[in-house]
Structure 1
Amino acid sequence: MNDSLAEKLQNITSQFLPPAAELSEIADQFKKEMTKGLSGEGCLKMLRSFLPSPTGQEKGTYITIDFGGTNIRIQVVELLGVGKTRIKEQLLFPLKNPTANYDYTSPSATAEELFDFIAAQIGKLIETNQSYLLGHTFSFPCQQLSVNRASLLSWTKEIKTSGMEGQEITTLLKAALQRANLHRVIPVAIINDTTGTLLTASYRNPRATIGSICGTGHNTCYLEPWEPTTGKPMIINMESGNFNKFFLSPYDKVLDQSSEKTAQQALEKAVAGHYLGEIARLLLFDLWQQGLLFANFGKQVFHQPYSLKTRDLANFLEDSTPQLAVISSWLQKNCRIPKPALEECSALKTVASLVSTRSARLITATYAGVLQHIDPKLSHQHVIAVDGSLFEKMPHYQANMQQALVDIFQEKARHISLVLVKDGSGTGAAIAAAVCQ
């Protein structure tokens, strides 16, 4: 690797890999923002779920809706007690299907049409002579008003159905169920996917105190021991992607300026899978502009926004061949570079590692802030429940999180376990329906 490229990468490394002392400072800042947020100030929304942790002994059969994107999943979930659950029935369906000539995500579709479609799918799954309580995971920005009331603030994830923003989701669902003559299906709880992850984990293990999504997006919730308005334990959805008390690299600032909503979701833009490929692309494009990479090739190299995907970074990190043949092949195919130099392939792998590792370390620093808030001396065992493709599939991601915990807490890190909780949205909605009774 030439000296100029090596020097530049070393400079970038110093920006992207915060040392232990800086991680501890970020954790402290996050803890302070939590305290502010509980009083209605600061960058964390600290939204009340109105739900405590389950006991693990809840039982019964529930209908659940998992609505977090353009595909919806409906399940019949049985809670068996002693932390055990069973999926009895399941139906997955898209909200738009050109072949079937429908699209309930477009502005031309109404809220009534959308929920009538959902209600019709529920009708396919249930016994008509049986009563069901329904838990609904609805993973869009909402104002939570009670355990069963949440108003949509704004659509995300390519959904633009009209007449929804500002509406109470459960009211729309109840009306659709009535129109479908599903009078025995009774919605009782509405949550987001982060809360669902924590509920699923804590049903199995009472030590689970933090739930988090580390995938395309990012958010974290936790069990607040002393919620100010009730004085009782309650799960708080922090909307932690909006945390902004950490160093932003020049590449983060460029990404933010080109985003739809500038000066918002600073942490999410630095750590979530939707953005990691773009941060890496901006880094590599900067190296190209300075003549340090692919100097003989034109603008097409890393010029197109979001042309580099997070799954590409995962493939780069998995390349353990002596000549980095996987990365070389990718460059030949996607950038039309006939013979990439080994040092150029190595630079791609280094950049992928920096972006991914920073994501893991920043998120872990926020977990540390939560733990310091709820257990300042870290005298208890804690389980952090995580769902999402980054945590599950990105090479070295979990190991980087674990190392960050050690960097912050040293020997006390042994009190903390990171646990993958897959697809907690459906089971979590069933648990929410059980807990709120």
Structure 2
Amino acid sequence: MTTFRKSLLAALKSFFRGKSFLQALFAFWISPRKLKDQHVNSKATRTSRTISEFLREAEELLLSPTEGVRLRTFSSDLKAQFRERLQTHPECMLPSFNHLLPTGNEVGQYLALDVGGSTLRVALVELRGREADGRECEIIRMISFKITPEIKRLEGMAFFDWMAMRIHDVIHKDGVASTQDPIPMGLAWSFPVEQVSLGGGLLMGMGKGFLATSGLLGQDLGEVIKSACQKHGLNVQLASIINDSTATLLSQAYTHAETRFGLILGTGTNIAVHLPVSALSRFKYGTRPESWFDSASHVIVNTELGMFGHGILPLTRWDERLNATHPRPEFQPLEHFLSGYYLGEICRLAIVEAVETAGLLGGELPPSLVEPYSLDTEILSRIEADTSSTLEKALIAFTSAHPTPIPATPADISAIHTLASFISRREARGAEDLATPPHTKVAFTGSVIEHYPGYLAKCQSHITTLISGAENPTLAAGSIDLVPAVESSIIGAAVALGCALTDGQTA
């Protein structure tokens, strides 16, 4: 009777809030267990297929458009877009002022800086020459300085004053500042800059929360850094500015003479390539002295690779859903297809559909996966890294990051493992449509290609497949090898500086 009275009292309260008396009474009388069972059963009625059926369709959608002949067609279409944009597009295929690859004879100690989104690194790098097999270059000393949110909020010259003080700390410890001559520096700058000379570039907005360009937009980066250093008693000259993809290329070209490409494949993606000057239309070069053209036969080009692929990429409905909510859906289509930032989101969208239509995870989506971009690629990497039969580590990795309302089963994790493998294999197939010259090395860096399980091997395998099936006999007999570029930003900045000084160029 006690239970009945409580149910009746609760029902009366609900009645006065506007509910049907009988509806409220039944709602409180039915046991929670019964309600849960009904909830699960209602989920089951929404299931329109099995997990196996869902995965078969996912494999067809994600992988079949880039298999066999289709992969070669996809590659050819991208190359056609590359050639077209070498002539016309103002935002990609951008020629730098760097026209020399290292000879391997550049030797000496060089001061190199790397300014990224979260860290400033200042290093003294020794180049010993290509003949010093295995010891061609070495970072003699390097200090990293965290760029905290407070540092990012430093406005204008205040940020560059902070940089100058960090440079001062490093070079005085190494005795580099003992000379009266200007100290040449090489800089890897991971932000937009309108380069106007080898060591000069007009500052553009940095993004990522930085206020350093406040009041300085359009000023020469080299002069800004020189001015800040002079305040702290440093006589420096910024002799070379490069971006991260150029740094990757140069860092390995110093060791491997066949290197012609520098590939970034991590959170984002890009590639630098060494091309004949004549491969680009003249307007691409903007305003630069005729003396540059007189001395340059080739040039390092920042392709902005992520901008390619519009109208070519075989999009799934998950790609289209990602694009539908993206603020610039057509700006970087290949970046959406390749980079680590989007790999997790494509998988999340597929998991949401599998939960709703195939009963994955008991038909209940983890609350933490409701928001876009909530599935980190690093979690997928840990799941794919588990090749055991039990997938125990994968289960722990997923459920620790995304607790499930209904306990996840090994079958659930196996399905997510399979889905992740489809997406990473598709990404690897797209990542190799980059180069065709025979006997070429592609220097690479980035969290995805370096750390995602099996990713590098898949890329190399697809490259080899494309070469072996090439119609050009010379290409078919050649090779394109992926080689790691360790500490590429710092070493690349030092190599660029060594090239500039050896060639007698100035900023």
- Calculate the TM-score normalised by the size of structure 1: 0.89
Q: 1:303 to 1:76 in 2, by over 3 A?
A: same
Higher relative contact order (CA 8 A, sep 6+): 1
1:226-279 residue CA offsets vs partner (Å, 9 max, x unmatched): 444536111111010111232222222322333343321111122111221111
Q: 1:336 to 1:282 in 2, by over 3 A?
A: same
Q: Which of these residues, 478, 486, 490, is aligned with residue 422 of structure 1? A: 486
Query: How far off its partner does 1:111 sit?
Result: 2.1
The answer as to whether partners of 1:194 and 1:219 remain within 8 angstroms in 2 is: yes
Q: Give me the whole-angstrom Cα distance separating, in 1, the residues matched to 2:324 and 2:192.
A: 22
Which residue number in structure 2 is paired with residue 72 of structure 1?
120
Q: Give me the whole-angstrom Cα distance separating, in 2, the residues matched to 1:316 and 1:431.
A: 38
Query: How far off its partner does 1:8 sit?
Result: 2.3
What amino acid does structure 1 have at the position aligned with 2:50? S
What amino acid does structure 1 have at the position aligned with 2:86? L
What amino acid does structure 1 have at the position aligned with 2:440? H
Q: 1:166 to 1:78 in 2, by over 3 A?
A: same
Q: How does 1:13-412 map to 2 (within 5 A)?
A: 13-17=59-63, 18-41=66-89, 44-82=92-130, 84-96=136-148, 103-106=150-153, 109-126=154-171, 127=175, 128-130=177-179, 131=181, 132-161=183-212, 162-183=214-235, 185-227=236-278, 228=280, 229=282, 230=293, 232-244=297-309, 245-297=312-364, 300=367, 302-333=369-400, 334-365=402-433, 367=434, 370-371=435-436, 375=437, 378=438, 381-410=439-468, 412=476
Equivalenced residue count is 418
Q: Give me the whole-angstrom Cα distance separating, in 2, the residues matched to 1:413 and 1:282.
A: 42
Q: 1:75 to 1:399 in 2, by over 3 A?
A: same
For the residue of structure 1 that corresponds to 2:152, the secondary structure is: coil
For the residue of structure 2 that corresponds to 1:177, the secondary structure is: helix
Q: Bigger CA drift: 27-36 or 427-436?
A: 27-36
The answer as to whether partners of 1:37 and 1:45 remain within 8 angstroms in 2 is: yes
Query: How far off its partner does 1:281 sit?
Result: 0.8
Q: Give me the whole-angstrom Cα distance separating, in 1, the residues matched to 2:365 and 2:307.
A: 37
Query: How far off its partner does 1:363 sit?
Result: 1.0
Q: 1:331 to 1:386 in 2, by over 3 A?
A: closer
1:67-115 residue CA offsets vs partner (Å, 9 max, x unmatched): 1212111111122222611212211001226xxxxx1212xx2120111
Query: How far off its partner does 1:187 sit?
Result: 0.6
Which residue number in structure 2 is paired with residue 100 of structure 1?
none
Q: 1:74 to 1:306 in 2, by over 3 A?
A: same
Q: Bigger CA drift: 72-81 or 153-162?
A: 153-162
Q: 1:38 to 1:414 in 2, by over 3 A?
A: closer
Q: 1:20 to 1:152 in 2, by over 3 A?
A: farther
The answer as to whether partners of 2:464 and 2:480 remain within 8 angstroms in 1 is: no
Q: Give me the whole-angstrom Cα distance separating, in 1, the residues matched to 2:301 and 2:381.
A: 32
Query: How far off its partner does 1:186 sit?
Result: 1.2
What amino acid does structure 2 have at the position aligned with 1:420? P
Query: How far off its partner does 1:319 sit?
Result: 1.3
What amino acid does structure 2 have at the position aligned with 1:31? K
Q: Give me the whole-angstrom Cα distance separating, in 2, the residues matched to 1:155 and 1:427.
A: 23
Q: Give me the whole-angstrom Cα distance separating, in 2, the residues matched to 1:135 and 1:80.
A: 17
Q: 1:268 to 1:296 in 2, by over 3 A?
A: closer
Tell me, yes or no, if structure 1 residue 12 matches structure 2 residue 58. yes
Query: How far off its partner does 1:137 sit?
Result: 0.3
For the residue of structure 1 that corresponds to 2:457, the secondary structure is: helix
Q: 1:165 to 1:240 in 2, by over 3 A?
A: farther
Between Structure 1 and Structure 2, which shows a larger proportion of helix residues? 2
Unaligned segments of structure 2, at least 5 residues: 1-47, 283-292, 470-475, 502-507
Q: CA RMSD in A?
A: 2.3
Query: How far off its partner does 1:337 sit?
Result: 4.4
Q: Give me the whole-angstrom Cα distance separating, in 1, the residues matched to 2:145 and 2:338.
A: 29
The answer as to whether partners of 2:49 and 2:357 remain within 8 angstroms in 1 is: no
Query: How far off its partner does 1:312 sit?
Result: 0.5
For the residue of structure 1 that corresponds to 2:367, the secondary structure is: coil
- The structure with more radius of gyration: 2
Q: Give me the whole-angstrom Cα distance separating, in 1, the residues matched to 2:451 and 2:366.
A: 32
Q: 1:61 to 1:212 in 2, by over 3 A?
A: same
For the residue of structure 2 that corresponds to 1:87, the secondary structure is: strand
Q: Bigger CA drift: 252-261 or 200-209?
A: 252-261
Q: Give me the whole-angstrom Cα distance separating, in 1, the residues matched to 2:97 and 2:314.
A: 30
Query: How far off its partner does 1:321 sit?
Result: 2.4
What amino acid does structure 2 have at the position aligned with 1:75? A
What amino acid does structure 2 have at the position aligned with 1:267? L
Query: How far off its partner does 1:308 sit?
Result: 1.2
Identity %: 27
The answer as to whether partners of 1:59 and 1:434 remain within 8 angstroms in 2 is: yes
Q: 1:226 to 1:298 in 2, by over 3 A?
A: closer
Query: How far off its partner does 1:133 sit?
Result: 1.1
The answer as to whether partners of 1:215 and 1:390 remain within 8 angstroms in 2 is: yes
